[in-house]
Amino acid sequence: MTNTTRDDESLYRLALRRALSSEDPAQLTLHFDVAVLDRYRGAAGLSIIRTDTVGRVRKQGSWSLDFGIAPDEDMVHVTWDQLMTLPESEREHFAAHACLLPASKMFLQMRLTPGSCFDDGELRQWE
């Protein structure tokens, strides 16, 4: 699991607050396995450049995508609005490499099929 610092959390919370106050999720980040970049390594007309913590994939004469690099270099993260600049086939490629951060499987299923009944235990108060 990627290690985060207090500064990382503060920046993430600031980005989230801005997205919420503007009612615009475009700056929210999505996380992907670093293997998503394999498709672009050495491919004609494509380049990947990076520093220690950020990078860019660029298709010559077409699109580019900026990304963040997680501290363990096992994931990259991209904002929603950046992904929407890509052709649909590239967005599908990224979707195939999406990383699930700690989450409730039942909640995800509920969001995919609203109105359905899901039973994963007795109702109780949060204590």
- What is the model's pTM? 0.82
- Collapsing DSSP states into helix, strand and coil, what is residue 98? strand
> What percentage of the chain reaches a pLDDT higher than 70?
96
Worst-scoring range by mean pLDDT, 1-5, 116-120, 123-127? 1-5
- Collapsing DSSP states into helix, strand and coil, what is residue 12? helix
How sure is the predictor about 3, in pLDDT bands with cuts at 50, 70 and 90?
low
The amino acid at 62: S
Full DSSP string of 17-86: HHHHHHT-GGG-EEEEEGGGGGGGTT-TTEEEEE-SSEEEEEETTS-EEEEEE-TTSSEEEEEHHHHTTS
